[in-house]
Structure 1
């Protein structure tokens, strides 16, 4: 039996930092052959160094992939199957944060957020599904508690994550009827470069004009939340558990805090509790 016939293969997107890097490493440590993709492979050093230190460098390979490019996603998935003979799982992790509000930003900025966080997930999943059917595999998509509760100044980001959650919740029974398990993973605050990449500079509050006081309050609240964030490795652990589980849950939170936060929305039938909570963040 060749390696490609005996070793389960997982494609993970967005692995240069944060949850993606930690998931790639943990999956390799669990025995998976990991195809770790990232838009810029020049940023692969941290992952490859960590893999070498953990003794799993032979189970991680890095490939370029811009998830917003549907043709690139098709080619990447086809290349993985050609080289490894199979594809058993996809972890859609690539994404980007965004802070802003509708009146003050162009619609193109919103489209860009949707391209990465929503359509990027669809491109990779669509390219992989036929191969995952053959393997009775699984699709695991990292969303966010922001895909459950809409949050101030995260309108575009939450819209994209809500869209992913709705899409995957609808896809799950259809894919499941053919043996493909579908899950979404909802982290809360995680210590990673994600927050530093949302583009909020030192002059953002002043530039927000009438929205400045609310933005200042939101940023202060967010700094406090991320002071108690879980690590990327802690967030990655439930993802790898879902890779390994015979029947993973559809919706998975990565911490007790994330579960409590998401649970508040699911129990809030008229929306008043969530609105009271998020309004307090900006008052």
Structure 2
């Protein structure tokens, strides 16, 4: 019997990471599903039981070096191999720079960019041994800058630049690097950040624009309009299992259209014309 490929996923307590853990286990991976707070593991345990699969749930905070080294050591000692990694852990953030401290911006980069970089650095020796795959969940916000997402999009742009630059270097060692770009996915992402952002803009010159943006965004992320986490996970597993994985993949037609607009927009006018409507008062 062949040994199942071992896959490490970060940020699996909810959303895309949660769904990807189940989908990957169904696809035959031995999934090490990590989350910052293992106390939130109950839902994933139950979903795995319903699906008839096993997931190995472990603690991992990608902003803590000791947590990363401990998790990677556990995988080496327990499984002796690591065949794929899905960098999924991240945090949303809505705001604009005039209303924020630089500490807020740095915090966004710590989890969304430096956490990805730190984990990537730690797992590359194991991925070189297995000639494995490194897949990172970016966002269409890593391609298109979006209003009131300055810090978040900047971090995701940085992720895309980092991975695009790493890809040919890693390929010399047999490691395939891909980024996956979802558009709106019906998760806890927007409800968790919208109220704080609206309060932070209250009484400022940005209040009306923030209100317009959040109204538009709530509609986009409504389950009636947004992609489901399960559907996004299917697209991710397709990248993990593809004979020739792409360097960049989108998880939906909406994501492909949105990213495609930017990639064909040499002077930036198409993008800014669209995103300006997001902050226009009625």
| TM range, smaller chain | over 0.9
Shift of 1:200: 2.7
With over 3 angstroms needed to count, the CA separation of the structure-2 counterparts of 1:206 and 1:171, relative to structure 1, is closer
With over 3 angstroms needed to count, the CA separation of the structure-2 counterparts of 1:84 and 1:218, relative to structure 1, is same
Q: Which residue of 1 aligns with 2:156?
A: 161
My pick for the range that moved more, 99-108 or 74-83, is: 74-83
Number of equivalenced pairs: 278
With over 3 angstroms needed to count, the CA separation of the structure-2 counterparts of 1:205 and 1:66, relative to structure 1, is closer
**Does the 8 A contact of 1:185 with 1:254 survive in 2?**
yes
Q: Which residue of 2 aligns with 1:63?
A: 58
**Does the 8 A contact of 1:89 with 1:137 survive in 2?**
yes
Q: Which residue of 2 aligns with 1:8?
A: 5
Unpaired runs of 5+ residues, structure 1, are none
Cα distance in 2 for residues equivalent to 1:105 and 1:240: 37
**Does the 8 A contact of 1:104 with 1:208 survive in 2?**
no
Shift of 1:85: 1.1
**Does the 8 A contact of 2:198 with 2:207 survive in 1?**
no
Q: Which residue of 1 aligns with 2:187?
A: 192
Q: Which residue of 1 aligns with 2:117?
A: 122
Unpaired runs of 5+ residues, structure 2, are none
Q: Which residue of 2 aligns with 1:30?
A: 27
Cα distance in 2 for residues equivalent to 1:266 and 1:164: 17
Q: Which secondary structure does the structure 1 equivalent of 2:104 belong to?
A: helix
With over 3 angstroms needed to count, the CA separation of the structure-2 counterparts of 1:206 and 1:164, relative to structure 1, is closer
**Does the 8 A contact of 2:170 with 2:177 survive in 1?**
yes
> Deviations 1:72-121 (Å, cap 9, x if unpaired)?
21221121111011000000000000000000010000000000000110
Q: Which residue of 2 aligns with 1:135?
A: 130
**Does the 8 A contact of 1:205 with 1:213 survive in 2?**
no
Q: Which residue of 2 aligns with 1:178?
A: 173
Shift of 1:199: 5.3
2:237 to 227, 240, 244: 240
Q: Which residue of 1 aligns with 2:269?
A: 272
Runs of 4+ in 1 over 6 A off after TM superposition: none
With over 3 angstroms needed to count, the CA separation of the structure-2 counterparts of 1:70 and 1:205, relative to structure 1, is closer
Q: 5 Å matches for 1:196-215?
A: 196-198=191-193, 200-201=195-196, 204=199, 207=202, 209-215=204-210
**Does the 8 A contact of 1:205 with 1:215 survive in 2?**
no
Q: 5 Å matches for 1:46-57?
A: 46-57=43-54
